[in-house]
């Protein structure tokens, strides 16, 4: 299973954090710090995989954002890259040519999309269209402009 997914900028500012196991606030902060340090220190053109404690860390940079997945040992790293890519595609379809600002200003929507794609550290839905439709339908249920 996946243990966590983090999104952070090149300056190390956190844009999204999804945790799939119950850990303390302090532990979360520690992991975020270590992930940002480790990933940002990687030279360009190195492979996208790292080992950290007993986990595999799979990361990929899209424009100004780093997507970082911490997965357990049996997970397929190459597929983890596809998972990250699929999430980026979902965001792109929803926001239309997504950029970091979209995720900053609409972080709650980024979470909603993620929660239709993954759950409990596993993939929930493999069809892009179904995920998109679910989000659109949910959006329509929302009361007008509450936030």
- Residues between 55 and 94 with contacts to other proteins, criterion CB under 8 A: 74, 76-79, 81-83, 86
Residues 20-49 that bind other proteins (CB under 8 A): 20, 22-24, 29, 45-49
The Cα angle at residue 79 between residues 74 and 83, in degrees rounded to 5? 115
**CA-to-CA distance for 110 and 94, rounded, in angstroms?**
9
- In this chain, which of 9, 17, 62, 93 binds other proteins, going by CB under 8 A? 17
# binding residues, other proteins (CB under 8 A): 51
Phi-psi region of 120 (alpha: psi -120 to 50; beta: other; left: phi over 0): left
DSSP state of 42: S
**119 binds other proteins, rule: CB under 8 A:** yes
Q: How far apart are the first and last CA of the chain?
A: 34
Q: Is 9 in the site for other proteins (CB under 8 A)?
A: no
Q: How distant, in Å, are the alpha carbons of 19, 55, 103, 129 from that of 24?
A: 11, 18, 25, 36
Nearer Cβ to other proteins (16/40) = 16
Asked if 14 touches other proteins (CB under 8 A), the answer is yes
**Beta carbon of residue 105, minimum distance to other proteins (angstroms, whole number):** 5
CB of 92 to other proteins, least distance (A): 15
Contacts of 58 (CB under 8 A, 6+ apart): 48, 49, 68, 69, 71, 77, 80, 81, 84
Residues of the shown chain interacting with other proteins in the complex, contacts defined by CB under 8 A = 14-17, 20, 22-24, 29, 45-51, 74, 76-79, 81-83, 86, 104-105, 107-108, 111-112, 115, 119-120, 122-130, 134, 137-138, 141-143, 146-147
């Amino acid at each position: 299973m996946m243990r966590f997914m983090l999104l952070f900028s090149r300056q190390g500012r956190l844009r999204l954090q999804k945790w799939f196991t119950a850990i303390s606030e302090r532990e979360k902060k520690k992991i975020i710090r270590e992930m940002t340090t480790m990933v940002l220190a990687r030279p360009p053109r190195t492979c996208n995989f790292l080992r950290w404690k007993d986990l595999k860390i799979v990361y990929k940079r899209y424009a100004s954002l780093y997507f970082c997945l911490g997965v357990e040992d049996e997970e397929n790293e190459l597929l983890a890259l596809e998972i990250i890519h699929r999430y980026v595609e979902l965001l792109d379809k929803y926001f239309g040519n997504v950029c970091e600002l979209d995720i900053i200003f609409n972080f709650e929507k980024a979470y909603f999309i993620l929660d239709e794609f993954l759950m409990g550290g596993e993939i929930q839905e493999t069809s892009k269209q179904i995920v998109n439709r679910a989000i659109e339908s949910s959006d329509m249920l929302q009361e007008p402009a509450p936030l």
